[in-house]
Each structure stands twice: as C-alpha cells, then as structure tokens.
Structure 1
Amino acid sequence: MKTTRRRAVLASAAALCATAMALTGCTSSTPKTASTAAKLSTLTVMAPYLSTQAPAADNPVGAALEKVIGTKLDVTWVPNSSYGDKTNITLASNDIPDVMVIQGKDSGFVSNAEAGAFWDLTDYLKDYPNLKTNEPQVQEASSINGKVYGVFRARDVMRTAVMVRKDWLKKLGLSMPKTTADLLKVAKAFTDDDPDGDGKKDTYGIAIPKWPGGFATNSPYDAIETWYGAGNDWYQTGGKLEPTFTNPKWIDALNFEKKLVQGGYVNPDYATLDSVDWNQPFLTGKAGIIIDTYSRARQINGLLEKQDPTTYQNMVAVTGNLIGPDGKMHALPTPGYSGFLAIPKASVKTVAQLKGVLSVLNKMNSKRAQIIMNNGLEGQNFTVKDGRALPITTTDGTNLTAIVASYAQLGTNVNGSKFYPPAQPNAYDQQQYDAEIKTMNADTKNAVYNPAAAFVSNTYAQEGATLDNIIVDARLKYISGQDSLDQLKAAIQQWKSSGGSQVISETNDLYKKSKK
C-alpha cells in the first residue's frame, strides 16, 4: 500500500541539486505572451521502462502513436532501476530532452524547479483540453508549493481495500465488516472461534507486516487512523494545518489498534513480519483479514486459484474503506499520481516552443493515443468485447504487451481514463473487478486528501526521516503496551522539539501564501 507521498522529498538527489544554476543559465523568467505554438517535427523524451528490454526504435506501438500525434517521438528509454541516477546525469549534461518523466518530488527536483530549471505550467494547462485535469486535488498535491511544474501521471485515487476470508465468515455466520467496530468483532471471532474448524486456537484476525515506510505511507495503521477521522498525514483545524498525530482522534485510533494487538487479534510477529511474506498467513489459513489494496486482493485471488481452481471463488471477500466510530466514511486515498512529465527550460527555451510541446502532449492524452499507450494495437494484441480490452497473444514474436507497458509511462490521463478497461479471464473475476471499481468510485467521494501534500518544508526535507521515526516508533511501542499514553505524548513533544515545530511553521507559511 505504500505510495509516493510528500515524504518523497527526502530522496537523495545531490547531483541534481548541483545543476540548478546550469539549467537556468540560458533562460530567465519568460513573460507569458500570445506566442503561437511552434510546430515540432520531433519531440525528445526520456522515460523509464519496467520490462526486461526497452522498445526498439522502430516498434509498431511507437509508430502508431506517432501517426496519431503527427510528431516523431525520439525516446531515450532508461531501466527503471537506474532512472534516478540517469536523471541526475542528464540534467548535468548538454543533451537534455524536451520532456522528462520525473518520478517524484525529490529534493533535487524541488530545488531545480524553484530555481527556474523547469517550466511553471500553472497558467498554461487550462488552455489544452486534454491536459486540463478533472482532479484538481491531485494536481494540487503534485504541485510544489502550489506551482505546477509537470503534467501529473494519473493513478487510481482510491485503492484502500479490506480482504476477508469469505469461507471463515460463512462458517462463523458473520457478515462482511462495514465499520471499524465490525472489524474488531470479526478479527476477534477469527482469533477465538476456530474459523478453520480444526479444534485448535491457531488462527488470528488480521495480518500486518513490519511496514517498510515511515509515517503516513498508507500502512494498515494509517488506514485505520484515517477511518477514525484523524486525517491523512495532515489535517486542517482552526485555519491551520497540523500533523494527524496531534489530533485527539489519532489517539482514539491508536487505542483501537492497541485493542487489536493486546487482544491477540493481530499476528504476533506484526513488528517483524517481512512485507514480502504478507500474503502467506492469509494463504495458509493462519489469518483472515488484510488491510491493503485492491491489487493485493487480485494477487491473492490469483494465488488461491493456482492452489485450487475449484474452490478459490469461495475464499476471498473484498470491500473498501470502513465507516469510523463517528458514523462517517473517511476514505484513505493515494496521492492520485505517480510523478509527472516536466519540461526543462534548457531545451525548451521560448514560450512558442513550450506551447509546441504542450500541443503534442495534449494529443498524447487524446482517446486514440491513450488506447495505444494503455491497450496497444487493436486486432494485434487486443480486441474489444463489451467495451473491454480482451488480450490476444501475438504470433510474430513481438512482445507488444511489454512495449505497451513502456509507453504507458508517457501517459498522463489527467482528465480521465479514455482507454478500454481490461477484460477479466472469467465471469467471476469480471464480477469481482466490476464490484471493486464501483466501491472505489463510491469511496472516492469521501476521500480525505492530505491538505499539505503540495507544500515542501525545508526542515522536513532535511530532517523528515528522523522525525518520522520518532512517531513510528512511538506508535508501535504504544499499541504493543510497551509505552504509556504519557510516554506517547512525550514522543510527540520530542518530535516538535527536534524540528517538528519548525516543520509545522514552514508548512503553514507556505499554506498561507498559497491562499493569497
């Protein structure tokens, strides 16, 4: 469930920071004019690829896309594993592309953007219908202190899901949980009432791993705390922004988590279970609940199908966010984006050139282009059935699926997905998928967005990892019973005295400036 959040500013990018002045030396802050868009014959791009091999220069997917946008694409494909290093090297060189995929708001990108190395697109995107977003909260979250330095790459806003052993619910005569109180009831029954029927007390309710991220990284704890109304990383109170752990409702949520842990309703190795082994307790019949994402639910269903194709459909039930103790739905969203397409001023020097680039990106977000970049080539690697993309295997040895996955890295989809949703392999999986989409859409209406996502505190950029650890450690010690409530509150004060108060001050200064 871990996602790229405001905390991504901690990523190391020293080499990138050092290039800021070099990147901006050839341009100044260009006034907006009525310049006509320059006609581009070629657009140079740098992007990551996640498959084992980069697309060939003459691949059929790229050729089809170029035909739609009327511009040749000269793409430098970089392995995803080394993309960060390549970004630093490229920006320090004399060969900078027109468009770069930037994977997150790391400190180097923030420094360069604010120094003028990338175009501020805030007042331009509204003039391009396919780049004008219908998710303003996501665009705000992807911005840097309210300024938009890239066209964000949209991802599902809502992914939070609760997976429950459907066979255990049936055996114990229980219903799928709808509230946090229901969750406690089911977790207790899965622990105490022998849901596997072996006559032994050898099961527990919820499987939680040692979370690999810091605070507010969409862990199961973060989901519960949002459901309790504590907020999402930050919350707004009295016209100010405050971290969620200063909200009394956060303490209420921790008391709930403590009840789960102290009651034995969570796996006893919750503090050490490696996240790569997260599925195992569920698959082996030791745990009956996982709080994570819909993609994990699909993964678990697939693994259970391999174990037993005849019974897997009876094993997993899935729902979305749960209703909190106040009777309201406070749904935990993702940031809604995964990086963005940014335009360096070192290569795109004038407003006319900028408008030319944006015109091409506008065409790349058209329906026809989205279909090519996300589904592929109709009749070659997919067909359309009932409005869905049904994959077909290519017979000429070309792995079009891998090529399409690479071009999807160039997609933005900022005003909605216009490509075909995937057809599932059977009626059951299709029914599950359709139900998930329906629940995701319903939960999105109650999404609790992080109100501080756009703001980059200098102190947090330098000390954030240390500050996060104070809260993460304090939370774990409290719910385990190792620390008292007074010790938890003392840890929050330690956070403040260690630089946290400065983070709050800086964040609120930026927040106030954004409202002017």
Structure 2
Amino acid sequence: MSASRRRRLLAGVLTLTAALTASACSGGDAPAADPNTLTIMTKLFGPAPDPKGEMQQAVEKFLGKKLQITWVPNAEYADKVNVTLASGNVPQVVVVDPHGPAFVKAAQAGAFWDLTDKLAKYPSLKPVDERRVLNASINGKSYAIPRMRPMLRSAVMIRKDWLDKLGLKLPETVDDLYNIAEAFTEKDPDGNGKKDTYGLIIPKWPGKYASASPYDTLETWFGAPNQWGERNGKLVPGFDTPEFLEANKFLKKMIDGGMVNPDFASYDTAKWDDPFFQGKGGIIIDVNVRARALLDKFRDNGDKDYGDKVAMVGNLKRADGKKFSLPFTGYNDAIAISKQNVRTEQDLDNVLKVLDKLGTKEGQILVQNGIEGRNFKADGDTAALINEDDPAVRVVQDNVDQAFTQLGFQGDTTYGGLAYARTPSGQAYKDIIKLGLDLMNEDLKTAVFNPALPVVSPTAVSKGAQLDDIIPDARIKFLSGEMTEEQLKGEIKRWYDAGGTQVAAEINDLVSKLGTN
C-alpha cells in the first residue's frame, strides 16, 4: 500500500473515531450481542480454518461458547483493523497493535475498555510481569491484554555447511559477520564453481523504524538506542545518533560489495527463507524461532543431514568488544475488548471470564499445540507431533500453526509459556531450542531496553502517517545508493521539522511522568 493511501485511510479512521466512540458508549442502534457467542478478529498466516472443523469445535467445546472468528491475512491486518474501526462494526475481541495510531486514538476516546484495574481478579489474566504490561500500555493505562512472548529473540542464522566448507568459525563481532558474508560471496561456499552466492539475506521490511527489522538489530549492535535512548540527559530517537549512521555505513559497504541480495529493498518477506534453503544466501538476522523454521525446510525436503545446515548465534559484539543486544517488547500484539458490543461491566466480566479460561494451561495447550492424541502427544514438557502423514491431522496441525496459535497469549510454543514446546522428533531440533534458550538468557544481560516503550506521543498519533515513513524510506535510499549521507541527515532534520521536535518533547515529558502516575 502506498504512503498516500495509508494517510487517506488513517485520516478516515481518525475522523470516524468520535462516531465509533459515541456508538460504543451508548450502545448505538446495534442489536445486543449473543451472550453465547464470542466474536473475535485476529491474524491469519495461511488458509482460514473451517468454522465447523476439528480445531474450532474443540476450542468451542472447551470454552462453552460459540466462536465467530474473522481471520485476516497478516499482510492485510493493519489495514483491516483501521477499516473495522472506521466501520463502527467492531467485534467484541480484537487483536491489535496496542501502540498503533488508530487503536490509540480509539482507545483514548473511549471505544475500548480500560483494563488497567480490572484484570487482578482473573487468575489467567492477572499481570505476572509488570514490564511487559507497562510496555504494552498507553502512558501507563492498559487498554489490552498483551500476548506474552520472550523478552529477547534476536539472533543470527547461518548456513553451517558453508561455514564448515570454508573453515570459518561462528561470528562473535560485527566484523566477523562482515568477513563471513564476504567469504560466502567470494569463495564459492556451495562448491559449484560459480560466483552465484551472497552472504546476508534481507527482505523488504513492512514495518516502520524500530520494528525489529535486521536494520534495527544491526544498529543496536553498533550502540544506537533501541528506538529511544538517553543522550546528554534527554531521550532522543535512535536514528539521531552517530551509531545509527555508523551501522548503516557498515551495511552499505556490504551491499556495495555484493554481500547482500541486490533486491533487498523489494524482496518479499514471505520468501525470506528461500535463498537460505536454495543455497543462494547464507545469513539471516531475525528472531531465533526462524532457526527451527529453516530446519523444517531442509527436513521436509527429505534432507537427512538437515541438522548440519543451520547454525545460530545470538547478538554480536561491536568491533571494540562491547555488546548491545536488541530485546523484544515482551509481547506480540495484544487483545482489546470493544465497548460497542461489550457494553456493560457485566458483559465485560463475561468476556473476561472466557478469556481467563482460554488463558489457563489447558486452554493455551489447545490453541497452541492442538488436540492431544490427535496431532500431538505430551512428552515431558514438549509436544511431540504425531500422525503427521494423515491428511486430516495435517489440517489440524496447520490450523494450529497458521491460525489458532494467534489466540495464545501466555508465551509461545518454542521458548516458554503455558503450552508445551512443540518439538518435532530429531536431535537437531532439541539442540537448536536449547541453544536458543541459552543465547536469550545470555543476551538479556546486555539488552538495550527502550525507556519510551510505554508512552505514546499525541503528535506521533496525529502525524504518524507523515512521520513514520521518513526514516525507513531514507534509510533504504541511502543503502541503495540513491541518497548521500548528508541527504540522509537532511531527512532526519525533516523528521524533526515535520513534527518530530514536538514528538520528542512529548516523549520526554510523558516518560518523566510515568513514575508519578
């Protein structure tokens, strides 16, 4: 979607928020919601499940409620949320980005329930980690239940067989990474006698600045703040630091040297794994769960030596040996409750009781692992997949992986939570998961947290459509050679002039007030 279309859409959403809020608070003319049905809108990463299929029937039976789920493909989800808010026909439960401008505007206007003081009496919803809850809040108020995820997931995946063939060691520093990428580009790691490989694989990143992209991770390694950080006694955006420029000059050198896929500015994120699997590129900077997905690629292709194809390391040190690790927010989206179809405190209590039951260990195992005895069996604290050759069971597993896991909010199934770790048979999987846990625990010691994560600048909400694209677009143009370093600095100044100065002032003020609320 073009930036202009995003701006028009967001403008329409914000214009209609007042009407939506009035409808939400008064009940409007909408008929009362069916008390036996819970309406939900959430993301989808594959074909939509059959509403009469095994998984949905199992979840409905467990909850004692009918579910009317609007499944929306991930790539279209942000736009769908905006359109749904503008339509005034909002499901009872909506998975949202708790800091998305349209949601923030609607929540602050009263279209969603303020849950700050309402969750303590629900055992499965009661906050157990205040940092995650605060991170997902809007200036200290919780309008949604965060879907808990590990606090640190950044890592580097590397073709292990290429390292072994070239006699290279795993990287510890950014310079090591550069040398490996150069070797993967110049020294024929696949042994076909052709110069047809490269090091680092980067896709077109759909998110804005500080959205856990490979760029953001690399910038953090160089010492840039994680979105916002303190410099000379005040908080400044990470892109307005020397470390940001240094990291991008480093990456540009790799790009200019042919060490990165040349179509990085337009390469489809959905195909990110393909060059790694196909032997075209050898390095991916992303979340650590991608290592398991890469193992899946090789194993599903019948490669008996799939465990020899994927190596993983954690965050890398800067050239001077200092280490700065990129943490995660601790959540992945959040669950908000609309006032339009959940009108009274009693209605809210009924919905929260359903979510509370869903948040139990049994509920989280169901939506994140599936149906025990059907597609998995418990093996200690892991879920071993079973009946994988049965097409009907394969549908159940796909429904879990691509859809119902989005209803999981008590951790994930790889690195912790109430559900079982989902582990295919094979020592390589056990090894990579244990390695991931060890790396996360180690890197948390050097994590660079964003002190401004819990606050939302009003100007950032109202001018987000104008501001959000400036830095990501300029960064790509600089890396592609379409913009000089001085022009990149000029775009940083333009961000300030277009409203960023006010954003920075508001962020500093709001953060200073967090401890006094």
Normalised by the length of structure 2, the TM-score is 0.82
Q: 2:400, 2:240 → 1: CA distance?
A: 45
Q: Cα 1:91–1:369, aligned 2, differ >3 Å: closer, same or farther?
A: farther
Moved more, 134-143 or 395-404: 395-404
What amino acid does structure 2 have at the position aligned with 1:78?
T
Q: CA deviation at 1:244?
A: 0.3
Equivalent residues in 2 for 1:312-331, closer than 5 Å: 312-331=306-325
Q: Which amino acid aligns with 2:408?
A: G
2:3 counterpart residue number: none
Note closer, same or farther for the CA distance 1:453–1:54 as it changes in structure 2 (3 Å cut): farther
The one-letter code matched in structure 1 to 2:471 is I
Q: 1:235 aligns with which of 212, 229, 236?
A: 229
Asked if 2 retains the 8 angstrom alpha-carbon contact of 1:13 and 1:107, the reply is no
The letter for the 2-side match of 1:339 is: D
Distance 2:253 2:391 in 1: 58
8 Å contact from structure 1 (residues 43, 357) kept in 2:
no
Q: Name 2:219's counterpart in structure 1.
A: 225
Aligned residues: 491
Deviates most, 256-265 or 12-21: 12-21
When structure 1 is superposed on structure 2, of 397-406 and 307-316 the one drifting more is 397-406
CA shift in 2, pair 1:492/1:307, >3 Å? same
Kindly provide the amino acid, as one letter, of the partner of residue 250 in structure 1.
Answer: F
Aligned to 2:472: 472
Residue 247 of structure 1: which of 232, 235, 241 is its match? 241
1:163 shift after superposition: 1.7
* Structure 1 residues 210 and 243: alpha-carbon distance in aligned structure 2, compared to 1, 3 A threshold: same
Deviation at 1:170?
1.6
Q: 2:260 & 2:304 partners in 1: Cα distance?
A: 29
Q: Does 1:180 align with 2:174?
A: yes
Q: Alignment partner for residue 66 of structure 2, among 74, 80, 97?
A: 74
| 2:139 is the counterpart of 1:168 | no
Helix, strand or coil for the counterpart of 1:125? coil
Give the gaps of 5 or more residues in structure 2.
1-6, 29-33
Residue 152 of structure 2 aligns with which residue? 158
Distance 1:143 1:326, change over 3 A: farther
Structure 2 residue aligned with 1:409, among 402, 406, 411? Answer: 406
Structure 1 residues 233 and 314: alpha-carbon distance in aligned structure 2, compared to 1, 3 A threshold: same
8 Å Cα contact 1:101-1:339 kept in structure 2: yes
Q: Match for 2:235: what amino acid?
A: L
Assess, with a 3 A threshold, how the Cα gap between structure 1 residues 306 and 115 changes in structure 2: closer, same or farther. closer
Moved more, 401-410 or 423-432: 401-410
**Distance in 1 between residues matched to 2:98 and 2:210, nearest whole Å:** 16
Matches within 5 A, 1:403-482: 404=400, 406-413=403-410, 417-480=417-480
Matched residue, 1:23: 24
Q: Taking structure 1 as reference, are residues 326 and 356 closer, same or farther at Cα in structure 2, changes over 3 Å only?
A: farther
- What's the CA shift for 1:396? 11
Distance 1:476 1:97 in 2: 37
C-alpha deviations, 1:146-188, integer Å up to 9, x for none?
2101111223443322121212212222110122121122222
Q: Note if contact 2:20-2:85 (Cα within 8 Å) is conserved in structure 1.
A: no
1:145 to 139, 146, 163: 139
Letter of the aligned partner of 1:75 in structure 2?
A: L
How far apart in 2 are the matches of 1:179 and 1:366? 42
CA pair 114-334 structure 1, distance change in 2 beyond 3 A: same
Q: How does 1:373-388 map to 2 (within 5 A)?
A: 373-388=367-382
Displacement of 1:379 after TM fit?
A: 2.4
Task: Give the alignment partner of residue 59 of structure 2, picking from 62, 80, 85.
Answer: 62
AA aligned to 1:319 is V
1:294 aligns with 2:288: yes
Structure 1 unaligned spans of 5+: 1-6, 28-39, 67-71
Q: Is the 8 A contact 1:45 1:73 kept in 2?
A: no
Change (3 A) 1:228 1:312: same
Aligned to 1:266: 260
Q: How big is each residue's C-alpha offset from its partner over 1:399-450, in whole Å with a ceiling of 9 and x where there is no partner?
A: 5435656544333217961121112132223322332233234334443333
SS at match of 2:335: strand
Shift in alpha-carbon separation, 1:383–1:44, aligned structure 2, 3 A: same
Q: Work out whether residues 98 and 138 of structure 2, in 8 Å CA contact, stay in contact via their aligned partners in 1.
A: no
2:4 alignment counterpart: none
Which protein, 1 or 2, shows the higher relative CO under an 8 Å CA cutoff with sep ≥ 6? 1
Output the aligned Cα RMSD: 3.6
Give the Cα–Cα distance (whole angstroms) in 2 for the partners of residues 412 and 189 of structure 1. 42
> Judging changes above 3 Å, is the alpha-carbon distance between structure 1 residues 489 and 85 closer, same or farther for their aligned structure 2 residues?
closer
State how far apart, in whole Å, the 2-side matches of 1:96 and 1:206 are.
42
Distance change >3 Å, CA 283–CA 417, structure 1 → 2: closer
Q: Distance in 1 between matches of 2:152 and 2:17?
A: 32
Q: How far apart are 1:114 and its partner, in Å?
A: 0.9
Change (3 A) 1:113 1:178: same
Q: CA deviation at 1:19?
A: 0.6
Taking the aligned partners of 2:399 and 2:165, their CA distance within structure 1 comes to: 46
One-letter identity of the residue aligned with 1:463: K
- 1:226-267 deviation digits (Å, cap 9, x = unpaired): 111212222233453211011222122223223323344333
Cα distance between partner residues in 1 of 2:87 and 2:260? 49
Question: Are 2:45 and 1:53 aligned?
Answer: no
Give the TM-score of the pair, scaled to structure 1. 0.82
Residue deviations 1:4-61, cap 9 Å, x none?
xxx9x9697355553112212369xxxxxxxxxxxx9857342437343343399541
Amino acid at match of 2:511: Y
| Cα 1:340–1:307 shift into 2, 3 Å | closer
Kindly provide the CA deviation profile for residues 180-201 of structure 1, in whole angstroms up to 9, marking residues without a partner as x. Answer: 1211222222233343445554
Query: Deviation string for 1:306-330 (max 9, x for gaps)?
Result: 5561443322211222122353432
Q: Which residue matches 1:372?
A: 366
Structure 1 residue 455: Cα displacement? 2.8
Give the letter for the 1:133 counterpart. P
Q: Give the letter aligned to residue 76 of structure 1.
A: Q
* C-alpha distance 193-150 of structure 1, shift in aligned 2 (>3 A): same
2:41–2:91 Cα contact (<8 Å) kept: no
Q: Give aligned-pair identity as a percent.
A: 40
Query: Which residue identity lines up with residue 425 of structure 1 in the other structure?
Result: S
Q: C-alpha displacement at 1:349, in angstroms?
A: 4.7
* Distance in 2 of aligned mates of 1:147 and 1:101: 17
SS at match of 1:236: strand
Q: 1:214 aligns with which of 208, 218, 222?
A: 208
Q: Which residue of 1 aligns with 2:31?
A: none
CA distance in structure 2 between the partners assigned to 1:73 and 1:87 by the alignment: 27
Amino acid at match of 1:65: F
The one-letter code matched in structure 2 to 1:77 is I
**CA 1:57–1:87: 2 relative to 1, 3 Å:** farther
